[in-house]
């Protein structure tokens, strides 16, 4: 893949994770987040020692942080729902 294709895929994955984390299954979220990190690493190698390296890395870090936060929030909500369901059944309702 060329650099432009990598940026497109990186942006698409980040947007999907940020906007759709709650509708993705756990395995899908983890696979997409892993792919996001792998593409980010490849992009980082491509921009290394270029004039726009700082801006590119900051842009990637921001998107990875937002995507990771969205995935984490979705996982926390699933855990709360699961615990709430067990508590509800434990109380005999």
In this prediction the pTM is: 0.82
As a whole number of angstroms, the longest Cα–Cα distance in the chain is 64
Distances (CA, A) of 30 to 14, 36, 40, 86, 89: 12, 10, 15, 25, 29
Residue 40: how many CA atoms within 13 Å on its side-chain side?
20
Taking 80 as the threshold, does the pLDDT of residue 86 lie above it? no
Rounded to whole angstroms, the Cα distance separating 55 from 7 reads 13
- How confident is residue 91, by pLDDT bands cut at 50, 70 and 90? low
Phi and psi, residue 85, nearest 5°: -65, -40
Which pLDDT does position 83 carry in this prediction? 82
- How confident is residue 90, by pLDDT bands cut at 50, 70 and 90? low
DSSP at 21: G
How confident is the model over 52-81, as pLDDT tens digits? 999 999 999 999 999 999 999 999 998 888
Q: What is the mean pLDDT of residues 39-60?
A: 92
How confident is the model over 9-28, as pLDDT tens digits? 999 999 999 999 999 999 99
Q: What is the mean pLDDT of residues 83-92?
A: 64
């Amino acid at each position: 893949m060329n650099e432009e294709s990598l940026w497109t895929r990186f942006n698409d994955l980040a947007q999907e994770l940020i906007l759709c984390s709650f509708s993705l299954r756990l395995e899908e979220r983890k696979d997409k987040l892993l792919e996001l990190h792998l593409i980010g690493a490849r992009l980082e190698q491509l921009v290394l020692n270029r004039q726009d390296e700082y801006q590119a890395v900051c842009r990637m870090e921001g998107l990875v942080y937002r995507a990771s936060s969205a995935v984490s929030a979705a996982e926390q909500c699933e855990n709360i729902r699961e615990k709430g369901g067990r508590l509800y059944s434990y109380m005999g309702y």
